[in-house]
């Protein structure tokens, strides 16, 4: 048999809290699956327009229609266009932040589930997958809990020579 993987209490609480808060969501436009070598792999579209961009674009369209009907002057159109570009940029940034949050939450829950599976089966390929997922999370956010858990996983990988 192999060595069991220590899951820190902070990591467990974080994963369980995220799993409770995001469980059962019927609308998750940021996650799709593709078949890769017989395995369903999640695909994320980070940076694509989302809900906030759609709301802002709708608001701007309505505003333009009103301005067109009222024959507003050129300078007002120019100011509104500049403000619209700024608002659309803010909407895109809000959508990107939400998508990164969903992406990291999903990876954290998946890595926690893999950790519990590893402690049941001691399959060394799960350790590599856990390490890769925690590394992917750390590309976007810096959290001491995740850094600590990843160091535990890396130590176990080095100990086993996987």
Instruction: Walk along the chain (162 residues) in steps of 10 and give the mean pLDDT of each run.
Output: 81 86 53 69 70 92 93 92 94 87 86 91 86 90 91 89 62
The token pair that represents 143 in the structure block: 């959290």
Cβ-contact 23, 145 below 8 angstroms = no
Cβ-contact 40, 33 below 8 angstroms = yes
Specify the pLDDT at position 21: 66
What DSSP string describes 40-65? Answer: EEEEE-TTS--HHHHHHHHHHHHHHH
Specify the pLDDT at position 2: 61
Query: Whole-angstrom Cα distance, residue 126 to residue 53?
Result: 38
Specify the pLDDT at position 85: 94
**Can you give the length of the chain in residues?**
162
Q: What is the pLDDT of residues 15-49, one digit of tens each?
A: 888 877 665 444 455 566 677 777 666 676 666 77
Specify the pLDDT at position 34: 72
pTM of the entire predicted model: 0.74
Specify the pLDDT at position 26: 43
Cβ-contact 96, 24 below 8 angstroms = no
């Amino acid at each position: 048999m192999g060595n069991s993987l220590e899951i820190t209490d902070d990591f467990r609480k974080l994963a369980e809290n995220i799993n409770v808060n995001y469980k059962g969501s019927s609308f998750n436009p940021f996650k799709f699956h593709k078949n890769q070598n017989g395995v369903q792999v999640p695909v994320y579209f980070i940076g694509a327009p989302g809900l906030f961009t759609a709301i802002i674009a709708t608001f701007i369209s309505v505003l333009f229609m009103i301005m067109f009907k009222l024959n507003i002057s050129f300078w007002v159109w120019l100011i509104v266009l500049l403000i619209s570009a700024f608002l659309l940029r803010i909407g895109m940034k809000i959508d990107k932040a939400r998508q990164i949050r969903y992406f990291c939450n999903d990876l954290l829950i998946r890595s926690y589930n893999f950790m519990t599976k590893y402690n049941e089966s001691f399959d060394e390929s799960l350790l590599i997958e856990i390490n890769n997922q925690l590394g992917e999370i750390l590309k976007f956010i810096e959290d001491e809990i995740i850094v600590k858990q990843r160091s535990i996983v890396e130590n176990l990988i080095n100990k086993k020579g996987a």
